[in-house]
Amino acid sequence: MYGKSPERKIPVTSENVLTVRDFSVVYDVDPPVEAVIDVSLDLLRGEILGLAGESGCGKTTLAYGIQRLLKPPAVITSGSAVFHDESGTDIDLLALDETSLQRFRWDKISMVFQGAMNALNPVLSIGKQLADVFETHRPDMSRDERRDECAQLLDIVGVRRERLRSYPHELSGGMRQRVMIAMALALRPQLMVMDEPTTALDVLVQREILLQISDLRREFGFSVVFITHDLPLLLEISDRIAIMREGRIVELDTASAIYHRAQHEYTRKLLGSFPSLTGDRGGFLRASETALGEGAA
């Protein structure tokens, strides 16, 4: 485990920011592969929802499908995904045309992609890549305003402003990940989807990134869907956790309930699969109790 959960100063509301119902995705190959099967979930405004499961269970396909980022042969075959804007407008994500989708992405929902540390353009400076977000989505901003916004974004994620002139290869892995988080925050979205955002980082940098995500969520009040196979990590940072297996959500509950009272056999096996550093291979359930605590999440 990573230690005691950060204090949550912004309460999770009972208001949905995202509603998904009976959502299914099939990869149209021979034979067809059902990647996501009849998934339904509600994401509350201000909460961190962890999405856990082994590799290939459909976590990333679900996240991409909701945002209409899937490419052939993936096909959304059924269901609905509705974004509830803070203005009071409900947006049917599956009905948006391409132009509307381009305006919607990054503005309302942003994403930190899997392998995001390598997603930066190697021939453009960090400042140019951050400024591109504003040039695309806030075309009325002046050059000076864009520069100021980019500098403030680096301040927010703990990267020195001088790095605006740097190129990706001049940054450490942790700094590149912070830049990607800054880019996702640029337009102050209401929902951030993070797909394995700490993969390939060492444990100390990983810890810093996780604390920063929690701090930023408290400061700006956005919701987070945090995708990972690392269940102990989700137990620490999430308000609720959805467990996926073979394309289905088999259990969805608070982090505390998942840890203390897991109902599905698969969830219990996941919990038992993480060894303690000091005990036997089944010692995770005992060793993690201190970190999670009875009142966590």
Domain count, the chain: 2
Query: Does residue 248 share a domain with residue 149?
Result: no
- Look at residue 5 and tell me whether its pLDDT is greater than 50: no
Mean pLDDT over all residues of the chain?
87
Q: How far is CA 152 from the centre of its chain?
A: 22
- The tokens of 165 are what? 């002139």
**Is 159 inside a domain boundary?**
yes
Q: Which domain holds residue 56?
A: 1-108+191-256
Q: Dihedral of the CA atoms 139, 144, 148, 153 (nearest 10)?
A: 30
Q: What is the pTM of this model?
A: 0.86
118/224: higher pLDDT = 224
Query: Does residue 201 share a domain with residue 184?
Result: no
285-296 per-position pLDDT tens digit: 544 454 444 444
Residue 90: CB atoms within 10 A of its CB come to 10
Query: Which pLDDT belongs to residue 7?
Result: 37
77-102 per-position pLDDT tens digit: 999 999 999 999 999 999 999 999 99
State the pLDDT confidence band at 4, using cuts at 50, 70 and 90.
very low
Query: Which pLDDT belongs to residue 277?
Result: 59
**Is 273 inside a domain boundary?**
no
Query: Does residue 214 share a domain with residue 96?
Result: yes
68 burial (CB, 10 Å; 0-12 / 13-18 / 19+) is middle
For the segment 169-187, the average pLDDT, to the nearest whole number, is 92
44-61 per-position pLDDT tens digit: 999 999 999 999 999 999
- Look at residue 279 and tell me whether its pLDDT is greater than 70: no
Query: Which pLDDT belongs to residue 205?
Result: 83
6-45 per-position pLDDT tens digit: 333 345 667 999 999 999 999 999 999 999 999 999 999 9
Query: Does residue 98 share a domain with residue 148?
Result: no
Query: Does residue 95 share a domain with residue 79?
Result: yes
